[in-house]
């Protein structure tokens, strides 16, 4: 069963396939992009209205480019990857990958519980990768985030 980071990494690799990333830092950039997306989701869900912001993003109510979740992921990526690797001008083109990845998150979130809509339960179940109940899904997500 795939962890949330595996699912995000899959979207990152799909989007970054044509990006010009120097080979010697490619793993750091792609890993940093995945971690930035995950960090944005974890920080957003802990904020007031955060779950709604994520839900709006993954259901397409808000375009990825204008989502506060995407803005946070971009800020994390710019600080933790682009600045630390001193990528300069090439960092701008890499930063453009963030909204593309965020826009693809809807591909991994579907109506999991069969109630006809995408809600918090579906978000948790989709990110977990199955329908084993909300508690076990939340436990699995926290385990993957905390590395347990």
101 occurs within a structural domain: yes
The better pLDDT of the pair 48, 104 is held by 48
Residue 121 covered by a domain: no
Q: Is residue 60 part of a domain?
A: yes
Q: Does residue 24 lie in a domain region?
A: yes
Report yes or no on 40 lying in a domain.
Answer: yes
Instruction: Return the structure tokens found at 41.
Output: 């989701």
Q: Please, what is the average pLDDT of the chain?
A: 75
User: Which string of b and e fits 129-141 if b means at least 16 CB within 10 Å?
Assistant: beeeeeeebeebb
Q: Is the pLDDT of residue 107 over 50?
A: yes
Residue 93 has pLDDT above 50, yes or no: yes
**Nearest C-alpha neighbor of 143 from the set 15, 16, 5, 36:** 5
CB-based contact 56:71 (threshold 8 Å)? no
84 in a domain, yes or no?
yes
| Domain annotation covers residue 118 | no
> Domain range holding 49?
4-109
Stated as kind and residue range, the H or E segment containing 107 is none
Radius of gyration of the chain (CA): 15
**pLDDT of 13-52, one tens digit each?**
666 666 677 788 888 888 888 889 888 988 988 888 888 8
Task: Say if 23 falls within a structural domain.
Answer: yes
Q: What is the pLDDT of residue 77?
A: 93
pLDDT band at 145 (very low <50, low <70, confident <90, very high): very low
Q: How many residues are recorded in the chain?
A: 148
pLDDT at 146 over 60: no
Number of domains comprising the chain = 1
What average pLDDT score do residues 50-59 get?
85
């Amino acid at each position: 069963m795939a962890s949330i980071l595996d699912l995000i990494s899959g979207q990152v690799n799909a989007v970054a396939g044509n990006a010009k990333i120097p080979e010697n830092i490619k793993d750091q950039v792609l890993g940093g992009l995945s971690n930035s997306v995950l960090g944005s989701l974890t920080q957003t869900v802990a904020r007031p209205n955060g779950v709604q912001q994520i839900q709006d993003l993954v259901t397409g109510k808000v375009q990825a480019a204008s989502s506060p979740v995407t803005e946070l992921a971009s800020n994390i990526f710019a600080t933790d990857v682009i600045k630390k690797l001193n990528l300069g001008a090439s960092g701008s083109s890499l930063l453009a990958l963030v909204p593309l990845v965020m826009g693809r998150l809807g591909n991994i979130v579907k109506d999991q519980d069969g109630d006809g809509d995408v809600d918090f339960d579906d978000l948790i179940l989709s990110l977990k990768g199955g329908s084993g109940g909300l508690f076990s899904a939340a436990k699995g997500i926290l385990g993957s985030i905390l590395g347990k």
